Amino acid sequence: MKVYDITIKPVSGFGTPLKGDTIFGHFCWQIAHDESLAEKPLSDLISQYSEKPFAVFSSAFPKLCFGSKYLYAFKSPSLPPDKLFNIPGNKKERIEKRKEYKAKIWMMIEEGQKLFSFKDKGIDFLTDKELLIKAESILSEKTKKDLQKASMKGLTTGFTQPHNTINRLTATTGGDAFAPYAVDQQVFLPETELALFVGIDDELITIEQVKEGIEKIGAFGFGKDASTGLGKFELGEDTEIDLAEMGSDNPDACYTLAPCVPERDIFEETFFTSFTRFGRHGDRLANSANPFKNPVIMADEGAVFKPKESSIFNKPYIGRAVSGVSKIQQKAVTQGYSLFIPVNLEV
């Protein structure tokens, strides 16, 4: 499996976070509408997905350009603080530092930098505000001027957009279906770029087909309220990347880049934040009699899994496909796979 880093440039707010399993679902709908986006029909790709995934999508992460190199902002690992930071021995100092450490939700990795372990001195852990300061430092002068009166606390800010529905018979709003309502969205800092990592089986799909499908998603809109203008983005450059080269040469654990459902009985230690996907069908099935899927409990991105056997590092992803999630589409499958960076917890 080959892995690519595809740059995404948001051009609107988002009602749904850009998580790997949701991006996979959107991409499958693109293949359903246009079978030229893969080498085989979607039914064939899904039927063998549990043994041979044709594509594995990561969640999207902020990507800052400094000179000729990028700085990736990954989610801080879901590990106990003592595995990330040098904890003070004094009890009072340890308690005071706990809140400070908890706020550092971003892990910065420079392009070409190797993530040997999470305690490497070259790795910075940043808060939302600290990441915003870094991102603002590379904005154009015009954008900086436009943002002088803005009060952002992080790379994204929440925004509520009021809407109303007009009754065409009375030309007014009113109760029930015509009552005014609000839509919540997350708006990125202008000029923000995001990194989307995609692993593909090039016997089943090409990077050109993947890019075309993702570009169509960005043109129509991703996730909730795409029909009202949310979830739009453009594509930037793409680069083939080796995630193994980003990590340790002597790994003993996997740092995940998307929500996943790990395989049973192959990990001796697991560190993760649970994430429940209350999925629903998209596209034409969104208006079906039962658009909702069965909930799936996943390990959110940033999980760390320590395998029993080193053979896990022979492929760039872990996890499994999740079937049986729909009562109206028996063949529906959820991406329970995740790409990972190999790391060493014992260093």
Write out pLDDT tens, residues 136-187.
Answer: 888 888 888 878 777 778 888 887 777 777 877 777 777 676 677 777 788 8
Could you tell me if 260 and 56 are in contact, meaning their C-beta atoms sit under 8 angstroms apart?
no
Q: Give the residue with greater pLDDT, 56 vs 124.
A: 56
Name the pLDDT band for 214 (thresholds 50, 70, 90): very high
Both structure tokens of 154 = 């992080």
Neighbours of 19 (CB within 10 A): 21
Could you tell me if 185 and 159 are in contact, meaning their C-beta atoms sit under 8 angstroms apart?
yes
Q: Which contacts (CB < 8 Å, 24+ apart) does range 135-144 have?
A: 135/62, 135/64, 135/189, 135/192, 136/189, 138/64, 138/65, 138/66, 138/191, 139/189, 139/190, 139/191, 140/191, 143/190, 143/191
The chain-wide mean pLDDT, for the chain, equals: 88
Q: What is the pLDDT of residue 239?
A: 93
Neighbours of 131 (CB within 10 A): 22
Write out pLDDT tens, residues 85-110.
Answer: 877 777 777 777 888 888 899 999 98
Both structure tokens of 22 = 């949701």
Both structure tokens of 7 = 């740059």
Which sequence spans correspond to the domains of the chain? 2-343
Both structure tokens of 298 = 């996943």
CA-to-CA distance for 236 and 250, rounded, in angstroms?
A: 33
Tell me: pLDDT of 328 over 90: no
Write out pLDDT tens, residues 69-86.
Answer: 889 999 999 998 888 887
Could you tell me if 115 and 304 are in contact, meaning their C-beta atoms sit under 8 angstroms apart?
no
Q: What is the pLDDT of residue 347?
A: 56
CA-to-CA distance for 284 and 33, rounded, in angstroms?
A: 11
Q: What is the pLDDT of residue 213?
A: 95
Across the range 43-61, mean pLDDT stands at 94
Q: For the chain, report the end-to-end CA distance as a whole number of angstroms.
A: 29
Could you tell me if 299 and 256 are in contact, meaning their C-beta atoms sit under 8 angstroms apart?
yes
Helix axes 20-33, 207-220, angle to 10 degrees: 100
Q: On the CB side of 308, how many CA atoms lie within 13 Å of its CA? A: 6
Neighbours of 144 (CB within 10 A): 13
What sign results for the dihedral spanned by CA atoms 131, 7, 161, 29?
A: negative
